[in-house]
Amino acid sequence: MPESRYDYIIVGGGSAGCVLANRLSASGKHRVCLLEAGPEDRTPLISTPGAFAYFMFSRKYNWMFDSEAKPDIRNGQPVFCPQGKTLGGGSAINAMVYIRGHRCDYNHWAALGNRGWGYDDLLPYFRKNETNERGGNEYHGDSGPIYVSDCRNYYPLNDRFLQAAEQAGFPITDDFNGADQEGVGYYQFTIREGKRCSASHGYLRPARSRPNLDVVCHAQATRILFEGRHAVGVEISRRGKTESLQADREVLLSAGAYNSPKLLMLSGVGAGDTLAGSGISPVHELPGVGENLQEHVDSCVLQYSLRNDGFRASLGGLLGQAPHLFRYLFTKTGKLESSVTQAGGFLKTRPDLEAPDVQLHFLPLLYDDSGRDLKLMARSGYSCHACVLRPKSRGRVTLDSPDPFAPPRIDLNFFDHPDDRKTLVEGIRLVRSILAAPAFDDYRGAELNPGPDAKSDEEILARAKERLGLVYHPSGTCKMGSDEMAVVDDELRVRGLESLRVVDASIMPTLIGGNTNAPVMVIAEKAADLILAPQERL
């Protein structure tokens, strides 16, 4: 049973929540409660890097949201929006790619008026977050909670991808998180000795025995409790019962970019008309809640392979993996010790750009619809996905009803801005140029998508929309700033309210150019410093 009174209540035990739980409980001076709607993260499937696909089907560990359907996207089907639902959140079910983004992303946040959020301000937190197996230097840490390791590659196709990129004229890099992000190469991963290193593994587990930290799973926050403008606690639903917990200092929302704005709205904080439309009594008018949604929209080139040394989800293909299952069980090595995607890159679609505007994820298999298209995956092939790194379109998260157990309504508003369409098409063209290079000559079968008939921009875009996907980086729905649509200030305090902050991917004013797990953990590291009294800061 949780106590009913704490100094800090953290809602959501994901990437950000686990960092906060560790840092806020470290001094022993504060009573901290971490609430998580999902279960404990004890299944070996979470720690096994190669078990990624399992979570795309698991209602137990994944919120399994869908976006609103659009007639021209995926033939009118909704786009799948997976979100982690267990300790570790997204970091427990993600592809473990360790990326920080480009320095210009954070400098842009600072230029918008957010003091202390420039790249040079955040670099110390990135270093504090990681233990890089290559050791520390001016860009990398060697003693942080998250272990970052090099790729262990078992597929010749990945090497071919790097060779092909070089042949096509692109630079090769061995560190996307160093001085220069641009290039093609192998990613690094949040994996330690063949096991996933989620925020729960890195930050929460070492702190769980602290007497001043309670971790409560299967506890879904249904409302923030207010006295006037002051957040004083949280109402939760646990084992079918409603309970109230009191927060003497602060309530910290770390429920992720879909669920944090949802909880604010359920609690009466949001745009007046949206709240009224969902039958919720307003507590505080804040028009930006749920707005400004950004995601890395992606599509892919799918190529049949003439050889059978990639991954296939056919009976024969799976039987061929059996030795790797045993190898993993006994030694934590083999194909299951690696992520589903290993090689990729950050490229510019125009040479005059300050930073890469597309990211590539190469996979030695035919991968579409978040790995849920098993029929496709049973065939022999390879894929390269390209995403728009800084989308200009903005979507929104709203509610259909005041029911806390109903999913949020997610409108990704894809391609509202024409530049996003252009960037995606150019990204697909870059991918095609790599896959056409000589290194793939003895692998290259027919192109399945966009397909040989898709030549003009319009044809490529139409096929890209049919295979449209996400890189699962929703953000921006409680943006940091000072304009009227900002939800939190640059200390992440909800504007116009007291004792309430949002600390997760929602606060990004603009989506960073890269995968978001490390940036979110760094947001939480900085938030912990902002929350704690100056004498307690590390």
Ligand X SMILES: Cc1cc2nc3c(=O)[nH]c(=O)nc-3n(C[C@H](O)[C@H](O)[C@H](O)COP(=O)(O)OP(=O)(O)OC[C@H]3O[C@@H](n4cnc5c(N)ncnc54)[C@H](O)[C@@H]3O)c2cc1C
Active site residues: 473
Residue type, 431: V
The Cα–Cα gap between 67 and 399 comes to 13
Binding site for ligand X (CB under 6 A): 11-17, 35-38, 82-85, 89-91, 93-97, 99, 220-221, 254-257, 259, 263, 472-473, 504-505, 515-518, 520
Contact by Cβ (8 Å): 435, 413: no
**Residue placing its CB nearer to ligand X in the complex, 216 or 532:** 216
**Tokens representing residue 483 in the block:** 């304009």
The Cα–Cα gap between 367 and 360 comes to 13
User: What is the helix (H) or strand (E) element at residue 314, kind and residue range?
Assistant: none
**What DSSP assignment string belongs to 150-189?**
E-----HHHHHHHHHHHHTT--B-S-TTSS---EEEEPEE
**Residue placing its CB nearer to ligand X in the complex, 8 or 443:** 8
**Residue placing its CB nearer to ligand X in the complex, 286 or 508:** 508
**Residue placing its CB nearer to ligand X in the complex, 40 or 489:** 40
Q: Which residues contact 470 (CB under 8 A, 6 or more apart)?
A: 79, 80, 81, 295, 296, 297, 298, 412
**Nearest distance, CB of residue 84 and ligand X, angstroms:** 5
**Residue placing its CB nearer to ligand X in the complex, 132 or 259:** 259
**Residue placing its CB nearer to ligand X in the complex, 90 or 290:** 90
The Cα–Cα gap between 369 and 468 comes to 8
**Nearest distance, CB of residue 154 and ligand X, angstroms:** 18
E strand intervals along 335-460: 343-347, 358-363, 381-388, 396-398, 409-411, 444-449
Could you tell me the CA-to-CA distances from 386 to 456, 464, 471, 534 in Å, in that order?
A: 18, 10, 10, 43
**Tokens representing residue 463 in the block:** 């096929």
Q: Which of 276, 408, 299 is nearest to 72 (CA)?
A: 299
**Residue placing its CB nearer to ligand X in the complex, 48 or 94:** 94
Contact by Cβ (8 Å): 154, 319: no
**Nearest distance, CB of residue 263 and ligand X, angstroms:** 5
CA 289, distance to chain mean position in Å, is 20
**Nearest distance, CB of residue 452 and ligand X, angstroms:** 31
**Nearest distance, CB of residue 524 and ligand X, angstroms:** 7
Q: Which of 499, 465, 504, 456 is nearest to 84 (CA)?
A: 504
**Nearest distance, CB of residue 114 and ligand X, angstroms:** 17
Shortest Cβ contact with ligand X: which residue? 14
The Cα–Cα gap between 382 and 444 comes to 9
The Cα–Cα gap between 257 and 507 comes to 8
Residue with tokens 């007291």: 498
Phi, psi of 7 (to 5 degrees): -80, -50
**Residue placing its CB nearer to ligand X in the complex, 432 or 473:** 473
**Nearest distance, CB of residue 388 and ligand X, angstroms:** 16
**Nearest distance, CB of residue 509 and ligand X, angstroms:** 15
